[in-house]
Amino acid sequence: MLVFERKNELVAFVRNAKDQGKTIGFVPTMGALHAGHLSLVKISVEQCDMTIASIFVNPIQFNNPKDLEKYPRTFDADSKMLEEAGCDIIFHPSIEEMYPTEAVEKFDFGQLETVMEGAFRPGHFNGVAVVVKRLFEIVNPDKAYFGKKDFQQLAIVKALVKQIQFPVEIIGMETVREPDGLAMSSRNIRLSPDERIKAVEISKVLKFILENKSQYSPLLLEAQAIDRLSKNFKVEYIQIVDGDSLQPISSWNQTDYPVVCAAAFLGEVRLIDNLELE
């Protein structure tokens, strides 16, 4: 496995591989890897001739400086896991390499970015779009793999690719969960043992909504879920939305693809999750 820190060196390497007819799979990450990330890498290895994973904690997508400061950085452990998963290349650039000057790009994703994460984390998705566009231009992948746990981010990335007309196939993969149902996340390692036990309640309230979908309206189920989760969490949102537009629904007949999304703080750790309600 090779590690590149300079974008021009990786660009040249990828160009040579593509000249040889090789297909490139790409898994962008911010490190602190877990089984969810590795599942994306393994699918890429199966589907593509060469798999590249990036490890870059993107500062411009954090609207909370404390969150950026505390984000886990575990490159040695990450690189070992990636090699064992069959990854061919790690791209591990510095902030200066990705942003030699201040990023000034601005994107407009309309209603996709004004709800849920967009409402609570202003500027977040513009930061995501900037770094994903730059990474795509460097790696030039044929396929790029993203987890559905970041459901809104996946929708933003698909919209970005359409806007900039980049020739890459975006593949969304199912959320990987712990045995008790908690969605795997790099932030989970920041939970105390007591918080880790309580954290599973997020996935339980989402499952509660799925199981009671036939009996209650979306708005009533949201209220019940928020009430249940508020016992241990500071809830930012629990919203049932159309899975394509991400706009909230008040009646089940407003969509054929309902998805419930949630974000809440457990202590100082912000957790997100979602569940397709089909």
* Residues carrying an active site annotation: 37
CA distances from 65 to 61, 132, 233 (A): 10, 20, 21
Burial of residue 121 (CB within 10 Å: 0-12, 13-18, 19+) is buried
Whether residue 241 contacts residue 206, with contact meaning beta carbons closer than 8 Å, is answered with: no
Which residue carries 């021009």 as its tokens? 8
Residues in the chain: 278
Reference 274, options 239, 250, 223; nearest CA is 239
Eight-class DSSP state of 100: S
Residue 19 sits at the vertex; the CA angle it makes with 141 and 10, to the nearest 5 degrees, is: 50
Query: What single-letter DSSP state applies at residue 248?
Result: B
What is the Cα gyration radius of the chain?
19
Bridge partners of residue 271, in order along the sequence = 264
8 Å CB contact between 94 and 164: no
